[in-house]
Amino acid sequence: MLPPARTALIGLVFALTASVAFGQDSAVPFDMSGERTPGTEQKPVVEGGTPVTTTETKEPEKKVATPDPLTRRYIVPATSLLLEGEAASQSFPVFLTPQQAESATSINLGYSNAVVVAPESSRLTVVVNDVSVGELPVQSAEGTKDMRFDLPKGLLRPGLNRVTFNAVHRHRTDCTVRSTYDLWTAVDPARTFLTVPADTSGRLLTTDDIAAIGLGPTGQTKFVMVAPDMGQPVATNALMRLSQGLALMAKMPNQTFDIVDALPATAGAGEMTVLVGTADDLAAMLPSLPVTARSSAVATFVDAPAGNRKIFVVSGPDWPSIEGAVEGMLAPIDRPLGVTREALSVRQRNATEMPLVSGEMSLSFASLGVRTGEFTGRRYRTGFDIGIPSDFYADAYGEARLLLDAAYSPEVLPGSHIDIYVNGNIATTVPITSRNGGIFRHLPIRVTMRHFRPGPNRVDIETVLMTEADKICAPGASASEEPRFALFDSSEFRMPRFARVARLPNLSALSGTGFPYNGQVDPTALYLDRLDADTLSTSATFLGKMAVSSGRALLVRPESSALAIGERNAILVGTISQLPPLVLGQTHIAAESASSWGGPADGGGERGATQEAFDEWQSRVRGGSWRGQISALETWLQETFDISLSSLRLLPGEEELVVPDDTARFLVAQGNSPEESATWTVLSAPTGVDLKAGMVAMAQDDRWQQLDGYVSLDSKGVQALDTRAVSRTRFVATQPWTFANMRLVAANWLSSNILAYAVLFCALAILLGIATSGLLRRFGRGG
């Protein structure tokens, strides 16, 4: 039998390979690096490209007659999709225009699977709007196989539709829990789509249809904004507001903005061309520009000059009128200040809205989208998403509760367990200890909140079941139909009231809910070091992501000088060499990086090597020196009690200055304004090209969710962001002052400043002793 911890660990490895969206937490209870089981090797590698598929790939392409990209509505917003384990399910939202909903006739699916999957007992099901449209045995081990399923008439609706892929896998020969990690089906996003015939109705598109922009074959969504006038400072505001408006309408997970000055000839799937400029500037480019644009603002779809496609035009006689048009678009979708959200509108994960848990709250699994399920296999994983507000401050002390309604059959052996993961980190293990089956009725499970972060969060429940039958593993036993485990949707997730106070700098709050920019009344200062395509694209993409995270479009005021910002919240975008030293200083970027970053490899690299060698020597001679003793103590504390020496410090240390190394290409940094009353966020890179490319990479949802600490560095070809944790935090009250909240804030602060609590505790005990002594001397008989 595998010890529970080890099984959990293996589960974690696979969870990580499957999705890189998990928070980067330096204090994960288990070190997962270097843990790879043989099973992993067979799996498609997810690094940036499409899954590696076999030779069969080309064949189906031939069968499909001259595909017009516009007729495909891709479904999966990622470069790959793995359905892993014995039972897996993924849902995706697809927004359709009325015409598309009407005319779409079929759904295509391209998939491959692991060799060890037994076809006779493994099924793949495609469900559209809760109606199963296709079911097939999983039998495409040799290469990607394309399937096509017809859709019943009227199944698709205008607006949001939900496409779900369910996979049930069984191993051919193996009954162990370990073997379930070798089971997978890879859905190829590029070959999985709804077929939508080209629009022939001649119906006019409206701004509502912007939401139907869709995805490209690699899960990308791109707005190409053609702004011939982009160099003019007066245009900046309209462009930034417009990009936010478009982002809020589409709300696609990986959406980027490309600001160019010339009209591109074509637009692929998941792309939309938007023309922005005064009527005079656009007239030359676009003959079909409505005449009214010369007199009043317009925002409408028109035919592209070439090719059978529509482009969106925002124009007017001058820039103020264009701004008016943009505001007109924004008004119905923007969220007024002071209105709080009940859910985070990030649809990408499970095609369900994500409830925003901002205080004490009980959510049944049914309302979280987890259905009652019976399970016959060995490892069952299901979960849900919840949104956490940006001023969440309970990561050190907090404990949420799962009240689990579940049952397991008598054949389940003790030693089986239920593991709860939060954002991929194991939070709790509940052992099953009874031999004769059992029913949990609202079994309380404490789930630590330390892995929760502002914005979307994933909670997974994984059940690992062991049985006598699996130990014997008779032929065909792995496909037994006898349910072993049931999870009921009457289970609840119960969030206690938690401490709420904002901390700055905090990039995870920025990525999660756009904090601190999301709720401010005054416009945010926006400093762009130059008004060129790269900088503006970066800025537009960033603000687009921010708008979706915030659930509202941010007001910005372009500033031409960083020094003029003063004590205002600001976003600063520029190449590293152009940013003023003041800005670098406030955001803890080493001043020398302005000249050294991106330059030819010089002293920086050498210094790194020296440091590396030094570290290595230090670990080799550890036994002797007292410094070595201390680090040994630290390791022991960390391993045994999860206490690090830095958490034993009484006063927080100064932030370390960040020197981006040569592999880094883009960074997001946050710091205080000089008077420490406002927050500055810096997006920078060595060159303009890196800036734009880095932001595009950062806009990918899984990477956006990794933003954390006070600096996050993105490196080419590396999946995980390099994040640096904040040590000096500025607290900003976001809630009305209440005793209950302050108490919880104090609990969290003291839980993260352990020694402070011990000191406070002892000091108070001494005071109490003295006071009691005074009291006892005055009362009762004296000595």
Give exposure, 471-498, as e/b (b: 16+ Cβ within 10 Å).
Answer: eeeeeeebbbeeebbbbbbebbbbbeeb
Q: What's the min distance (Å) between Cβ of 118 and other proteins?
A: 30
Residue 776, interface with other proteins (CB under 8 A)? yes
Q: What's the min distance (Å) between Cβ of 654 and other proteins?
A: 24
Region of 97-105, 123-131, 229-237, 640-648 interacting with other proteins (CB under 8 A)? 640-648
* Residue in the structure block whose two tokens are 């923007």: 334
Residue 780, interface with other proteins (CB under 8 A)? yes
Q: What's the min distance (Å) between Cβ of 183 and other proteins?
A: 25
Residue 774, interface with other proteins (CB under 8 A)? yes
According to CB under 8 A, which one of 442, 530, 607, 716 is a site residue for other proteins?
442
Q: Whole-angstrom Cα distance, residue 258 to residue 225?
A: 6
Q: What's the min distance (Å) between Cβ of 642 and other proteins?
A: 6
Q: Whole-angstrom Cα distance, residue 152 to residue 164?
A: 16
Residues within window 569-628 making contact with other proteins, judged by CB under 8 A: none
- Residue whose CB is less far from other proteins, 394 or 540: 394
Q: Are strands 106-113 and 145-150 parallel, antiparallel or unpaired?
A: antiparallel
Q: Whole-angstrom Cα distance, residue 288 to residue 307?
A: 13
Q: Whole-angstrom Cα distance, residue 149 to residue 366?
A: 29
- Residue whose CB is less far from other proteins, 376 or 751: 751
Region of 275-283, 307-315, 524-532, 743-751 interacting with other proteins (CB under 8 A)? 743-751
According to CB under 8 A, which one of 42, 433, 618, 646 is a site residue for other proteins?
433
Residue 646, interface with other proteins (CB under 8 A)? no
Q: How many residues does the chain have?
A: 783
Signed CA dihedral, 700, 701, 702, 704: sign only: positive
- Residue whose CB is less far from other proteins, 332 or 783: 783
Signed CA dihedral, 42, 44, 47, 52: sign only: positive
Q: What's the min distance (Å) between Cβ of 498 and other proteins?
A: 10
Residue 772, interface with other proteins (CB under 8 A)? yes
Q: Is 94 helix (H, G, I), strand (E, B) or coil?
A: strand
- 139 CB contacts (<8 Å, ≥6 apart)? 113, 117, 119, 122, 145
Q: Which helix (H) or strand (E) holds 590?
A: none
| Cis status of the peptide bond prior to 505, with omega within 30 of 0 | yes
Q: What's the min distance (Å) between Cβ of 648 and other proteins?
A: 7
Q: What's the min distance (Å) between Cβ of 632 and other proteins?
A: 18
Region of 316-324, 540-548, 709-717, 748-756 interacting with other proteins (CB under 8 A)? 748-756
Residue 172, interface with other proteins (CB under 8 A)? no
According to CB under 8 A, which one of 16, 141, 486, 648 is a site residue for other proteins?
648
Q: Is 552 helix (H, G, I), strand (E, B) or coil?
A: coil
- Residue whose CB is less far from other proteins, 561 or 640: 640
DSSP label at 207? G
Residue 633, interface with other proteins (CB under 8 A)? no
Q: What's the min distance (Å) between Cβ of 756 and other proteins?
A: 9
- Binding-residue total with other proteins (CB under 8 A): 55
Residue 762, interface with other proteins (CB under 8 A)? yes
The answer to whether 221 and 252 have CB atoms below 8 angstroms apart is: yes
The answer to whether 378 and 466 have CB atoms below 8 angstroms apart is: yes
Residue 746, interface with other proteins (CB under 8 A)? yes
Please return the burial class of 771, using the count of CB atoms within 10 Å of its CB with bins 0-12, 13-18 and 19+.
exposed
Residue 49, interface with other proteins (CB under 8 A)? no
Q: What's the min distance (Å) between Cβ of 418 and other proteins?
A: 12
According to CB under 8 A, which one of 52, 621, 630, 755 is a site residue for other proteins?
755
| Cis status of the peptide bond prior to 516, with omega within 30 of 0 | yes
Residue 396, interface with other proteins (CB under 8 A)? yes
Q: What's the min distance (Å) between Cβ of 747 and other proteins?
A: 4
Residue 359, interface with other proteins (CB under 8 A)? no
| Number of other residues whose CB lies within 10 A of the CB of residue 31 | 9
Q: Which amino acid is at 54?
A: T
Q: What's the min distance (Å) between Cβ of 765 and other proteins?
A: 5
Q: What's the min distance (Å) between Cβ of 370 and other proteins?
A: 21
Region of 83-91, 237-245, 251-259, 758-766 interacting with other proteins (CB under 8 A)? 758-766
- Residue whose CB is less far from other proteins, 599 or 769: 769
Q: Whole-angstrom Cα distance, residue 414 to residue 432?
A: 5
Residue 444, interface with other proteins (CB under 8 A)? yes
- Residue whose CB is less far from other proteins, 54 or 434: 434
Q: What's the min distance (Å) between Cβ of 476 and other proteins?
A: 29
Region of 144-152, 232-240, 395-403, 668-676 interacting with other proteins (CB under 8 A)? 395-403
Q: What's the min distance (Å) between Cβ of 725 and other proteins?
A: 17
Q: Is 118 helix (H, G, I), strand (E, B) or coil?
A: coil
- 345 CB contacts (<8 Å, ≥6 apart)? 251, 353, 548, 551
Q: What's the min distance (Å) between Cβ of 417 and other proteins?
A: 8
Q: Which amino acid is at 633?
A: L
- Residue whose CB is less far from other proteins, 308 or 362: 362
Residue 769, interface with other proteins (CB under 8 A)? yes
Residue 767, interface with other proteins (CB under 8 A)? yes
The answer to whether 407 and 486 have CB atoms below 8 angstroms apart is: yes
Provide the CB-side half-sphere exposure for 675 (13 A, CA). Answer: 7
According to CB under 8 A, which one of 378, 417, 458, 588 is a site residue for other proteins?
417
Please return the burial class of 352, using the count of CB atoms within 10 Å of its CB with bins 0-12, 13-18 and 19+.
middle
Residue 30, interface with other proteins (CB under 8 A)? no
Residue 674, interface with other proteins (CB under 8 A)? no
| Number of other residues whose CB lies within 10 A of the CB of residue 215 | 27
Region of 242-250, 284-292, 528-536, 740-748 interacting with other proteins (CB under 8 A)? 740-748
Q: Is 739 helix (H, G, I), strand (E, B) or coil?
A: helix
- Residue whose CB is less far from other proteins, 273 or 753: 753
Dihedral of the alpha carbons of 165, 268, 235, 511, in degrees to the nearest 10: 20
In 3D space, the residue among 508, 536, 457, 513 whose CA is nearest the CA of residue 256 turns out to be 536
Region of 228-236, 670-678, 709-717, 760-768 interacting with other proteins (CB under 8 A)? 760-768
* Residue in the structure block whose two tokens are 């990479």: 697
DSSP label at 3? -
| 140 phi, psi to nearest 5 deg | -130, 55
Residue 677, interface with other proteins (CB under 8 A)? no
In order, the DSSP letters of 152-179 are: -TT-S-SEEEEEEEEEE--BSS--STGG
Q: Residues interacting with other proteins, by CB under 8 A?
A: 3-4, 396-399, 414-415, 417, 431, 433-434, 441-444, 446, 641-643, 647-648, 743-744, 746-747, 750-751, 754-755, 757-762, 764-781, 783
